[in-house]
């Protein structure tokens, strides 16, 4: 394992998007969608579906959801004109919002779990802004067990064992999704920032 990754794991915290992306791209943080670091990678993969455009750092551009390759190229051209470093951008396959069951954030304390979530079938930021619900303790644990497939439930507990004070962002679906088999949940972020 790379020294940088081990240092993050040893401190049991993920303190920046940069640290998060080191672990995420190494496949260390559970199930994720198909991802790319450039439009050239998307084209080489002959990807024909829609994609999401996200920033690896907080540098002032808006996340774009469900974009065609043509829309991606147009947006990247706009960002270049604004002198935004395109190396700070990542892409992932768009996921089937119509199969969303629940999405949000889960946290764990010494006593119990907290879940902030939405059941609205839209990208997470939009869904949580429209309707946010909250559970804690046994109710949160029950929701997690009903929502996550067994492999995802285990993945989340393992992540909390490694990063006990982190927040885990997730989206769960009624079908299997992502790069890991037999999982219905994508882990979007594990963070302390």
Are 18 and 51 in contact by the 8 Å Cβ rule? The answer is: no
Please check whether residues 100 and 88 belong to one and the same domain: no
Long-range contacts of 43-50 (CB under 8 A, 24+ apart): 43/69, 47/93, 49/93, 49/94, 50/93, 50/94
Choosing from 77, 93, 109, the residue where a domain stops is: 93
What does the pLDDT read at residue 2?
86
Please check whether residues 103 and 187 belong to one and the same domain: yes
Q: Among residues of the chain, what percentage have pLDDT more than 70? A: 98
Report the range of poorest mean pLDDT among 55-59, 110-114, 115-119, 127-131: 55-59
Mean pLDDT of 112-125: 96
Please check whether residues 74 and 112 belong to one and the same domain: no
How far apart (Å, rounded) are the C-alpha atoms in residues 148 and 173?
Answer: 9
What does the pLDDT read at residue 49?
96
Report the range of poorest mean pLDDT among 1-10, 68-77, 167-176: 1-10
Please check whether residues 74 and 114 belong to one and the same domain: no
Please check whether residues 81 and 107 belong to one and the same domain: no
pLDDT in tens, 141-179: 999 999 999 999 999 999 999 999 999 999 999 999 999
Angle subtended by helix axes 3-11 and 17-25, to nearest 10 = 120
Please check whether residues 19 and 105 belong to one and the same domain: yes
Please check whether residues 118 and 167 belong to one and the same domain: yes
Are 23 and 176 in contact by the 8 Å Cβ rule? The answer is: no
Residue 184 binned pLDDT confidence (cut-offs 50, 70, 90): very high
Please check whether residues 53 and 20 belong to one and the same domain: no
| C-beta neighbour count of 64 within 10 angstroms | 15
Choosing from 73, 93, 113, the residue where a domain stops is: 93
SS3 content of the chain, % helix, strand, coil (to 5): 40, 25, 35
Please check whether residues 82 and 100 belong to one and the same domain: no
Mean pLDDT of 110-127: 95
Choosing from 93, 111, 126, the residue where a domain stops is: 93
Please check whether residues 132 and 120 belong to one and the same domain: yes
Range of the domain at 135: 3-31+96-191
Please check whether residues 70 and 160 belong to one and the same domain: no
Residue 60 binned pLDDT confidence (cut-offs 50, 70, 90): low
Domain tally for the chain?
2
Per-residue burial over 8-41, b if 16 or more Cβ lie within 10 Å, else e, is beeeebbebbebbbbbbeeeebbbbbebbbebee
How far apart (Å, rounded) are the C-alpha atoms in residues 157 and 103?
Answer: 17
- Assessment of whether the complete model's pTM goes beyond 0.85: yes
Lookup: tokens for 172: 């769960």
Residue 1 binned pLDDT confidence (cut-offs 50, 70, 90): low
């Amino acid at each position: 394992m790379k020294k940088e990754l081990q240092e993050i794991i040893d401190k049991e915290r993920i303190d920046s998007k940069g640290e998060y992306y080191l672990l995420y791209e190494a496949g260390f943080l559970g199930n994720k969608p198909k991802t790319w670091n450039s439009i050239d990678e998307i084209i080489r993969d002959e990807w024909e579906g829609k994609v999401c455009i996200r920033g690896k750092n907080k540098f002032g551009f808006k996340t774009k959801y469900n974009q065609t390759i043509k829309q991606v190229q147009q947006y990247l051209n706009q960002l270049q004109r604004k002198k935004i470093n395109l190396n700070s951008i990542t892409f992932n396959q768009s996921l089937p919002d119509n199969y969303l069951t629940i999405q949000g954030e889960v946290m764990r304390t010494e006593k119990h779990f907290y879940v902030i979530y939405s059941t609205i079938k839209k990208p997470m930021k939009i869904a949580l802004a429209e309707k946010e619900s909250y559970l804690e303790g046994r109710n949160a644990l029950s929701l997690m067990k009903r929502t996550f497939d067994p492999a995802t439930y285990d993945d989340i507990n393992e992540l909390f064992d490694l990063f006990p004070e982190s927040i885990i962002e997730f989206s769960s679906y009624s079908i299997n999704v992502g790069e890991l088999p037999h999982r219905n949940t994508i882990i979007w972020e594990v963070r302390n920032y």
